[in-house]
Chains A and B, each alone.
Chain A
Amino acid sequence: MDEARKDEDQQLVARTQEGDASAFDQLVVKYTPRLYGLVYNMTSNHEDTNDLLQDIFAKAYKAIRGFRGKSSFYTWIHSIAVNMTLNFLKKRGRRFQLSLDDVDASIQNDKEFIEATASSSPVREADLSELQKRLNEAMMKLSDEHRAVVTMFHIQGMPHAEISKILRVSEGTVRSRLFYANRQLQNYLDEFRKNPVT
């Protein structure tokens, strides 16, 4: 973890605990994009993500006086986000509305995106937007806990150790969940490649 970021977070947390609300605003601005990606890829719905993010930061603001710094603020706020999202998903059940169908327009011009679509043969053969849609569907077929691990590891690029701290499970559990989730995604996408019209 970046030490400079950690120190900056600690200072902002300390100022917030002393009653400086603008310090918490800086934390909100800093962590909103990252937490948006986490919650959005777990819920697949923009409105739900927005409401959850508001609740997450409200809860964090109320609880920040009790934050003693045993873990970093980064881990702490991610733990709140993951737990609240998992609770929300349990309540919501399976009646989700997939709103991730359209890949954002800006992604089409991204360098990594172009390289990825031009290199491997399965990706090249498939219609990209359709593939993204299938991937999203495959993600939503995973259990909430598996989707959380996939989101944090593959999409957010967190290391296993950080994920295990956030979820309060062992690193072995994180690895096994990832392995199982990858197999499921692979099977689902293979199925799509063999039968693209289904």
Chain B
Amino acid sequence: MDEFNDNEITKLLRLKRYEQPPAGYFENFIHEFHRRQRDELLRQPLWRICVDRARDFVISFNLSTLTSYPAAVTAVLVCAAVISLKIYQTPQPATVAAKDRPVLVVPASTEPEWTLASPVATRVFNTRSLRNITESAKTHRSGTPRYVLDSVPVSYETTFKF
């Protein structure tokens, strides 16, 4: 009996190149390809699209060759330094506002001191405050001081010029 040799196997295998998909397959393939691409695009989240666009932008301009690694590291360090300086040098507005606030004092009994002999400029004000701060603080829920920041002194208001 004859045996299959290499040539015969080669011939048989070469016949397989004539095996083709159903008629019209190759014509429809490109349309199917476009449809799948559109579907995939619709399924992608927004951030993914943005990342892809950014990546394409970088590749198109070939920024990787323009910017070296040390330059990128330096830029990151500079940004970090600027941000940290901004954070640590920002004044605390709540404390400043509390310190600058004028203490509202009203004389306890004004009647005896209202005389024609004592002009307004030389009036002696009673330094006792109308509201007791310590008592007032007890009305708040927490024991820590609380500053009201939404009131603006009159002197800070912008003047109107016509």
Contact = CB atoms under 8 A, between A and B. Distances in A.
Given A122-B4, A135-B13, A154-B13, A107 B19 contact: yes
Nearest to A135: B12
A40 interface: yes
B10 A66 contact: no
B6 A66 contact: no
Interface string A105-126: 0110010110010001111000
Contacts of A185: 4, 9, 13
A106 B20 contact: yes
Interface of B is mostly: helix
Contacts of B16: 37, 41, 135, 155
Interface in B17-45: 17-22, 25-26, 29-30, 32-33, 36-37, 40
Contact of A116 (B6, B12, B19, B30): B12
A19 B14 CA distance: 39
By size class, the interface of chain A is 35 or more
A108 to B, nearest CB: 10
A170 interface: no
Given A57-B33, A193-B1, A113 B8 contact: no
B19 A100 contact: yes
B75 interface: no
B46 to A, nearest CB: 18
Contact of A28 (B6, B9, B30): B30
A106 B36 contact: no
B150 to A, nearest CB: 54
Contacts of B15: 103, 107, 110, 112-113, 116, 132
19 contacts: A28-B29, A32-B30, A36-B21, A41-B16, A50-B21, A50-B25, A103-B19, A107-B15, A107-B18, A110-B15, A113-B15, A113-B18, A120-B7, A121-B2, A122-B8, A123-B11, A135-B16, A189-B9, A193-B1
Given A58-B33, A193-B1, 20 more contacts: A32-B26, A36-B25, A36-B26, A37-B16, A37-B19, A41-B16, A50-B29, A50-B32, A58-B36, A103-B15, A106-B18, A110-B18, A116-B15, A122-B2, A154-B9, A154-B14, A155-B13, A185-B9, A186-B5, A189-B4
